[in-house]
Structure formats: structure tokens, C-alpha cells
């Protein structure tokens, strides 16, 4: 895996501010050192509008345009910690590239990352956001996240960044043996669901209540 090139910030976008965010994540129970290191390394302020940069390291979801949001750091950290489970990850799929932030984090903890986004304009924004980081092990794709990316499956981990009414049936099929999938599921009441492929069966665990933007079918 190629290392991420840090982009320096100042004031409320500085490395010191990122480190304070990581300290808060530790206080909230995040223990995976690789996830914490990624969140210290990746400059979240590059992935939000300049007017919101001073809030980039608050534990809050922020708008990124196209009626989408960048999730709060604590939720992202919990999802990545749960789906990694202390394992070395080879190939990973993200469903819902959004602004590109979580894809950059995944690229820091996995050997090979694919991220699919259904909104063309948002995908181009993610490409622009990611370009300064020069991440070599990340591939972005324009497509319907409900279908996943069967042409490059199976995946050791799948991370879904929007809430479907039910878990899309195609996604668990793309898990490698021992693979893990994490996704928010539900409409008014959403739950974070962890799915593990154990030999020939899938084991589902409900983790916690969450709030994500709805997952849509098709491309636009």
C-alpha cells in the first residue's frame, strides 16, 4: 500500500486539531490503532466546502452537496473498526463514495479499495478532493451501489455509506469467506448491521442506532 501524502492545514484544520479529534475517538472507545492512524493522517477538511473547513474535525455530519453528507467521525471510526476486526484487509468495496473521505481512510487500512458512487457530479467532486493525496491503491467507479462490483469481487470487507430499507441482496454475495459487511439499514429507524460470511452461511448482528441519508437505486 502506498502511503498517503499528508496535506498540511492551519488553525482549525491543522494536524493538532486532527490529533484532538483522534483523542476524542479514543475516549469514545475506538481502539483499532490502524483506524485511528488513518483518521490522524487523512485531512478531513479537504473533503468539505471551504466555508465548513473550520468544523471539519467536529464530531458532526456535514453537507457535501447533492443532498448528501459526510458522516460524523465517530460513526465512521466505529464502522471501520467493526468491519476490519483487527484483520489485514486485502480487497475492500465502499458503496457510496460521497466526497471521498471514507474511501481515503479505507485506502490507508486496506491493500486495494474500490468505491462506487451513483451520482456523477459527486463522483467528480470526490476525484477532485482525492487528487492532492495521490492515493495509488484506490479505484473509483460510477455505478449503482445496489449491484456492488461483482466484476472485481470477492471482497474481504464491504462498507455501505447510505441506508437502504433492506440490505441489498447482491452485496453479501460479493463477500469473500470470512468477509464482513457493515451497512445502515432501515427507513425511519435505522440500525447499523454487521454481516459476516462464515463458511456457507451469513451471520447478522445489529450494532447500534444511526442516521444516514437514504440509499437510492440506479445512476444519475
Residues marked active site are found at 71
Q: Is 114 helix (H, G, I), strand (E, B) or coil?
A: strand
Our measurement of the distance from residue 186's CA atom to the centroid of its chain's CA atoms, rounded to an integer in Å, reads: 18
What does residue 17 show for φ and ψ, rounded to 5 degrees? -65, -40
**119's grid cell:** 451520482
H/E segment holding residue 173: helix 170-173
Our measurement of the distance from residue 114's CA atom to the centroid of its chain's CA atoms, rounded to an integer in Å, reads: 11
> Could you tell me which residues come within 8 angstroms of residue 121 by beta carbon, excluding any fewer than 6 positions away?
65, 66
Give the C-alpha separation, 109 to 113, whole Å.
9
Q: Looking at 4-152, list the stretches that DSSP marks H as alpha helix, in order from N- to C-terminal side.
A: 15-27, 33-41, 73-84, 101-109, 120-130
3-state DSSP: the chain helix, strand, coil percent, rounded to 5?
Answer: 35, 30, 35
Give the C-alpha separation, 212 to 112, whole Å.
25
Amino acid at each position: 500500500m502506498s502511503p498517503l501524502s499528508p496535506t498540511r492545514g492551519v488553525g482549525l484544520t491543522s494536524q493538532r486539531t486532527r490529533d484532538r479529534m483522534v483523542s476524542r475517538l479514543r475516549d469514545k472507545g475506538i481502539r483499532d490503532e490502524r483506524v485511528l492512524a488513518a483518521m490522524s493522517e487523512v485531512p478531513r477538511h479537504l473533503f468539505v466546502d471551504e466555508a465548513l473547513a473550520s468544523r471539519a474535525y467536529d464530531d458532526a455530519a456535514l453537507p457535501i452537496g447533492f443532498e448528501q453528507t459526510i458522516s460524523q467521525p465517530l460513526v465512521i471510526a466505529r464502522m471501520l473498526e467493526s468491519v476490519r476486526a483487527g484483520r489485514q484487509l486485502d480487497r475492500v468495496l465502499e458503496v457510496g463514495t460521497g466526497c471521498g473521505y471514507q474511501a481515503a481512510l479505507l485506502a490507508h487500512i486496506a491493500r486495494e479499495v474500490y468505491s462506487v458512487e451513483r451520482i456523477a457530479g459527486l463522483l467528480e467532486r470526490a476525484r477532485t478532493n482525492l487528487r492532492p493525496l495521490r492515493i495509488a491503491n484506490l479505484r473509483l467507479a460510477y455505478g449503482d451501489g445496489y449491484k456492488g462490483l461483482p466484476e472485481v469481487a470477492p471482497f474481504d470487507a464491504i462498507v455501505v455509506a447510505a441506508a437502504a430499507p433492506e440490505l441489498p441482496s447482491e452485496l453479501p454475495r460479493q463477500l469473500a469467506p470470512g468477509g464482513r459487511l457493515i451497512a445502515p439499514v432501515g427507513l425511519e429507524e435505522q440500525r447499523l448491521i454487521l454481516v459476516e460470511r462464515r463458511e456457507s452461511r451469513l451471520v447478522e448482528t445489529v450494532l447500534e442506532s444511526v442516521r444516514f441519508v437514504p440509499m437510492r437505486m440506479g445512476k444519475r
